Structure 1
C-alpha cells in the first residue's frame, strides 16, 4: 500500500480520518472523515448495558473490547485507510529517483517527471544562484570600504554607563546622564585613578600603568 511512512492516523471513536504529508515540503493533506455507523450502534449498546446490567452489560464489555481492537487494527480500519489512500493519491506523485511521495502542486517537476529535490526547477536554481552571488558580492563590496574611520579603537569601549546603567551609543559622555565614559585606570604605585585615554604612566607618581 502507498504512503506507509508519511501519514498520521487522526481517527477517533466516531470514525476514521488520515493525514498524508509531502516528504519534501511537509504540507499535509487530510482525507474526508468517514463516520463509523457500527461504533455509533455499539455506543448505544454500552449505554443500555450499563443501565440494565446482566447480559446487556456483558455485551457492552464486548463492545469495549471491539473498540480497543478497532483503535489498533481491524478490517474496518484497513478499509477506511484504503479508501483514504484512493482519495488522496491524485494529490501526490512518487518520485522514481528517491522513492518519496511528493505533493504534485508544490514539489513535483512535471517536465522531468521527478520531484524538485531530485530534479530542481532550472528557473528556481538560477534565481537561487543569482541571490547567492549577489549576497557574496555585497559582502565583498562592504569589505572594500573603511568602516572604522572616526572610531576610537585604541580605548576600551563601555557598553553601559557607570552612572545610570543605561546602554551607551559611543562618545566620551553618556547621552542620558552626562557621566564621563573615559576608562579609569588605577595606579598600582599610589592608588590614584587616571582617566586620560592612552596614558602609560601615572601623572602623580610616575609609575607605569
Structure 2
C-alpha cells in the first residue's frame, strides 16, 4: 500500500477487536474519532484460539494464545492496520485544513479562517480580535481608574505600623485604632517599652524580650 498523509496528529485506539483512530487539531487540541472498524483478520485468530481450546490442556492453551497473539501482531502492524488508518484519514479529513503558511493541521469549526485561507494563528478572525481587544482595553481602563482613586484613607502609613494590638493582641487592620478593641495605635507605636528584667527596649507589640527572652507582659 502506498504512502498517505495527514497522520502526524492522531492517536491509535485500536484493539484486538478492531480499529479506531482519533485526530487532533494542532492548535486547540479538539479531537475527532473515526468510525470503529472491526478487524476481519482477527476472526482467524479467534478460530485458532477456539481450536486450541478444543485440544485442551496446557499445550492447547499455549497454542491458542500464540496463534491469537500472532494474528493480532500481524494485523496491528501490517497492511490491514494501514488500510484501516487510511480509511480513517479519508473519513476525518473534511474536518481539517492544513495551513499552508505554518503547516499545521487545523480544525475547521474553531481554528480555520476561511476568509483568508489560513489558520487563525496566522490570520486571526477580526471580529474575535475586536472582542478580545475591547475586553483588554476595559481592563486597562479600569486599572487606570482604580489607580487614580485614593485607597489609603484611614490607613496609617506616615508612622511605624503596628501589626498586632498591644492591648488585645489582635490584628490591628492598619488604622489609627485597633479594629477589635479600639485601642489608640498611634500612641501605642510612639510609646517606648522596656523589658522589666534586663531593661532592653522592646517593640510595642512584642510578647517577649529580644535581649533576654523574658515575657514582656
User: What TM-score does the superposition give when structure 2 sets the normalisation length?
Assistant: 0.73
Partner of 2:132: 128
Partner of 1:137: 141
Using the TM superposition, give the Cα deviation of residue 93 of structure 1 relative to its aligned residue in structure 2, in angstroms: 0.7
CA contact (8 A) 1:186 1:193 kept: yes
C-alpha change, 1:16 and 1:164, in structure 2 (3 Å) is farther
2:199 matches 1:190:
yes
2:76 matches 1:67:
no
C-alpha change, 1:126 and 1:110, in structure 2 (3 Å) is same
CA contact (8 A) 1:45 1:56 kept: no
Gaps of 5+ in 2: 206-217
C-alpha change, 1:131 and 1:160, in structure 2 (3 Å) is farther
- 1:52 corresponds, among 26, 51, 55, to 55
String of CA shifts for 1:30-65, please: whole Å, max 9, x gaps.
001101132134124214314415689646523322
C-alpha change, 1:17 and 1:24, in structure 2 (3 Å) is same
- Tell me the distance in 1 between the aligned counterparts of 2:123 and 2:202: 69
CA contact (8 A) 1:161 1:179 kept: no
C-alpha change, 1:120 and 1:57, in structure 2 (3 Å) is same
User: What TM-score does the superposition give when structure 1 sets the normalisation length?
Assistant: 0.75
Partner of 2:22: 19
CA contact (8 A) 1:174 1:181 kept: no
Question: Number of residue pairs matched?
Answer: 192
Partner of 2:214: none
C-alpha change, 1:140 and 1:39, in structure 2 (3 Å) is same
Using the TM superposition, give the Cα deviation of residue 143 of structure 1 relative to its aligned residue in structure 2, in angstroms: 1.3
Gaps of 5+ in 1: 197-209
Partner of 1:76: 80
CA contact (8 A) 2:51 2:64 kept: no
Over the aligned positions, Cα root-mean-square deviation in angstroms equals 3.3
Alignment of 1:30-49 (within 5 A): 30-49=33-52
String of CA shifts for 1:127-162, please: whole Å, max 9, x gaps.
222222221121112111111111123343538999
- Tell me the distance in 1 between the aligned counterparts of 2:147 and 2:71: 71
CA contact (8 A) 2:21 2:85 kept: yes
Using the TM superposition, give the Cα deviation of residue 120 of structure 1 relative to its aligned residue in structure 2, in angstroms: 0.6
CA contact (8 A) 1:10 1:18 kept: yes
C-alpha change, 1:194 and 1:46, in structure 2 (3 Å) is closer
